[in-house]
Structure 1
Amino acid sequence: MGLPKRHATENSSSLSLLVASLLIISTNLLVVAALFQLMRRKGSQSWCFVLNLALADILVGLAITGIVTDVFQNYNTVNNGTIPITQPLLLMHSTQKTKCLLRMAFIISPSTASILSMFLISLDRYVAIKLPLRYSQLTGRWTVTGALVALWMVSLTVGFLPGMAWQLQQGDFESSSLCTFFSVIRPKGIIVVFCAVFFPVLSVFTYFYLDILKIACGHQRQIRQAGSRLPQRSRYWGHVKALRTVALLVGCFTLCWCPFFVVCAVQVLCEACELYKVLENDLWLLGLSNSLINPLVYACWQREVRLQIEALFCCVKDRVRNTAVLEASERLCTLSLSAFPSTSLSMCV
């Protein structure tokens, strides 16, 4: 591919990435606004996990925006003729190893927090169905706060681990090197860390839903046998309906992130395969797209969130309409006063 043509391709890809990051931020902000209204009205602690997921996804979007900013800075530098175009999409030219490690940390940490937030959401639904009588006691304010604090401690540890442990850093990184995952971080070390987080979480997801499926089938048989005499029927099926949204969320998460981590595992087992470019430029982006899917799932499938978003749009629409009517009325009064000052004064007061 010729240099100008390659440059145009990278520029258009960066624009697409910028649009995706803005969509991630805007959709998750909308879900955050809806969740704040729900939590203020209902006071349910379980919504805190969903709120944390949306906030983590917003940070992912901001991290992508930072990457795109660096890409465009390199684009301007190339146009000025300072350096040649040598980097593919999503690679950033960095002059400091510390800056590159921080950039990777701000990408890895919110991505890890997003994954662990879905784990807490699934755990919350699992406890609601497995232990319905103790659910309110087990999901108190301090329990939720402790879980979220632990989540962010783990996420920040995973994200900043390469910067704190020199054993995970590339020894031959130069000040003029391109800032990528595997240019500043030892591939095998960080891949092992990634897999140590992902595959146990995925295994627990699988256990949760297999156990819940068994419980739901047994409960359905009891309902058919006892009819309406079971007092927990409506509450139970309310939890099951909420679980459907979580199941869709986890399914999308698996489809988006599983290819990345499976190829990571293949790379660890087959060092001669050289799959780093595929991981950095393709599968990583597929995983990050999950941050855009999450708010869309809640906006479309979770009835309470969907209704709250509709109410927010109606509120904004009414305010815009009232403002337009007020401005039109003021303009009409101004014109009337200028034309007929004596007769229009009483109408505009």
Structure 2
Amino acid sequence: MYAGNNCSHGNTTDPMTWQNYVFITINVVLCIFICSGNVLTIIAVLRTPVLRTVPNMYVTSLAVADFLAGAVIPLQILIFIPSVKYIINDIKYLCLFRHVTFFVSVSMSVASMVAIAFDRAVYIGYPLRYKQLATTKRTWMVIVCMWISSLVIGTMPLYYNNWKPCIECSIFRVLKMEYQVYIQTSLFVVSCILTACCYGNILRIARQQQRQILEQTAPQCSKPQLAQDLKLVKLFGLVFGVFFICYLPAIVSVTAGHLGVYVPQMVTNITVPILVLNSGMNFVVYAVKNKDFRRAFVKMICTKKAKLNLVGPTVVATVLNRSDNNVLKNELR
């Protein structure tokens, strides 16, 4: 027996429904998308010296956290398999571990995103002092502190929970209302405020620089600067907008569920993948939108293709040479 509880689950061989297969497929695709994208980001930073900068240390930390968020998706997939779902329900720490791994990775992803916004705000606001303020040692200290904080917050359900034998391992039954509403929701609100303040300050400084350009130069010289500011606004709007859109549905549904509003399981099955999707979109925003990362990706892909192209003709030439030698030997005989 996998559990010491005499729980009655009814028919433990419930058939798989089409909804189960749909959500399993969605989560598998999401897992591949998130893990592959963030692995590319990590490898690009490790193999490309020009990418080993202080800002990219936060991007790499974010990529690691996002990779973990994608790597724990298989644990979420298990609940769509009826026989495995009952096992998870009956084993306390297996149930709690499923939630803890999710909250640790998500908390670190959010913390890294706020750190990136703060780092860029310092760079724009204090360009002459940035190298003195944002040293490699201080950056490592910040990243270590973020990981420790994420581990502390994410592992709270291990010792602060509502788990009891014979109950469903869902966030509304197992996790405390105070943890979900007061801690997780507060972190979401604080992260939104800090990120909005950082990017708002960046836009404010950009507008001040634009006014100075308009006052000191001819009007026709302001067009390139205006286009650059427009790109800046779009990028920052995309960063904050993707985060807000991905996290808001899950936060609203979880808060409503703990406050007594009935939330169908179907809603949770949809909002959680949307939340995790942010971990894949961070790769698109911070890596694909950056020209240095794009060059690193192209170099990695082209190098791999070049090796394949080199190996192909070499193998063919070797085979032909062996064939010619065999023919020559036969003729000599």
8 A contact 2:250–2:271 mirrored in 1: yes
TM-score (norm 1): 0.80
List runs of 5+ in structure 1 lacking aligned partners. 79-86, 229-233, 344-349
Residues 246 and 153 of structure 1: CA distance in aligned 2, closer, same or farther (over 3 Å): farther
CA distance in 1, matches of 2:145, 2:230: 27
Does structure 1 residue 147 correspond to structure 2 residue 142?
Answer: yes
From 241, 254, 259, the equivalent of 2:249 is: 259
Moved more, 259-268 or 328-337: 259-268
1:108 matched to which residue of 2? 103
| Count of aligned pairs between the two proteins | 313
The partner residue of 2:285 within 293, 297, 313 is 297
Structure 2 CA distance for aligned equivalents of residues 226 and 121 of structure 1? 32
Offset of 1:239 from its aligned partner? Answer: 11
2:263 is the alignment partner of 1:275: yes
In structure 1, what is the equivalent of residue 40 of structure 2? 30
Of 127, 132, 138, the residue aligned with 2:127 is: 132
Q: Distance in 2 between matches of 1:71 and 1:265?
A: 22
Change (3 A) 1:285 1:156: same
The one-letter code matched in structure 2 to 1:15 is T
Percent identity at matched positions? Answer: 23
When residues 42 and 305 of structure 1 are mapped into structure 2, their CA distance, relative to the original with a 3 A threshold, is closer
Q: Secondary structure, in 3 states, of the residue corresponding to 1:54?
A: helix
Name the residue aligned to 2:154: 159
In structure 2, the partner of 1:94 is 89
RMSD value, Cα: 3.0
Alignment partners' CA distance in 2, 1:279 and 1:220: 46
Given candidates 203, 214, 218, the residue that maps to 2:208 is: 218
Q: Which residue of 2 aligns with 1:183?
A: 173
Distance 1:293 1:278 in 2: 23
In the alignment, residue 249 of structure 2 is paired with which amino acid? P
- 1:95 deviates by 2.3
Q: Name the CA shift for 1:178/1:263 in 2 (closer, same or farther; >3 Å).
A: closer
Give the aligned residue type for 1:66. Answer: L
| Aligned CA distance change for structure 1 residues 189 and 215 (closer, same or farther; 3 Å) | same
- The alignment status of 1:16 with 2:11, answered yes or no, reads no
* CA spacing shift, 1:260–1:201, aligned 2, 3 Å: same
2:303 to 308, 312, 315: 315
SS at match of 1:273: coil
Instruction: Give the deviation of 1:331 after TM superposition.
Output: 0.8
Residues 101 and 162, structure 1, Cα contact 8 Å, conserved in 2:
yes
Q: How many Å separate the matches in 1 of 2:254 and 2:79?
A: 25
**Does the CA-based 8 Å contact 2:45-2:51 persist in structure 1?**
no
Residues 1:36 and 1:106: Cα distance change in structure 2 (over 3 Å): same
Supply the AA of the counterpart residue of 1:18: V
Bigger mean CA offset, 334-343 vs 146-155: 334-343
Alpha-carbon distance in structure 1 between the residues aligned to 2:112 and 2:92: 30
SS of the equivalent of 1:46 reads helix
State the Cα distance separating 1:116 from its structure 2 match.
0.9
Q: After alignment, is 43-52 or 255-264 more displaced?
A: 255-264
TM-score by length of structure 2 reads 0.84
Alignment deviations for residues 121-169 of structure 1 (CA, whole Å, 9 cap, x no partner): 101110011111111111101111111011111111111011133xxx1
Rate the CA distance shift 1:225–1:111 in 2: closer, same or farther, 3 A: same
Task: Name the CA distance, whole Å, in 1 between partners of 2:133 and 2:261.
Answer: 47
Partner residue, 2:4:
none
User: The residue matched to 1:93 in structure 2 has which SS?
Assistant: helix
Of 19, 35, 53, 1:44 maps to 53
Partner of 1:118: 113
Are the counterparts in 2 of residues 182 and 276 from structure 1 also a CA contact under 8 Å?
no
Structure 2 vs 1, CA of residues 43 and 23 (structure 1 numbering), >3 Å: closer, same or farther?
Answer: closer
Separation of aligned partners in 2, 1:45 and 1:239: 23
Deviation, structure 1 residue 26? 0.9
- Choose which of 184, 190, 193 in structure 2 pairs with 1:200: 190
1:162-173, aligned counterparts within 5 Å?
162-165=157-160, 169-170=161-162, 173=164
| 1:256-284 residue CA offsets vs partner (Å, 9 max, x unmatched) | 1122223444445xx23123736632222
Q: 3-state DSSP class of the match of 2:90?
A: coil
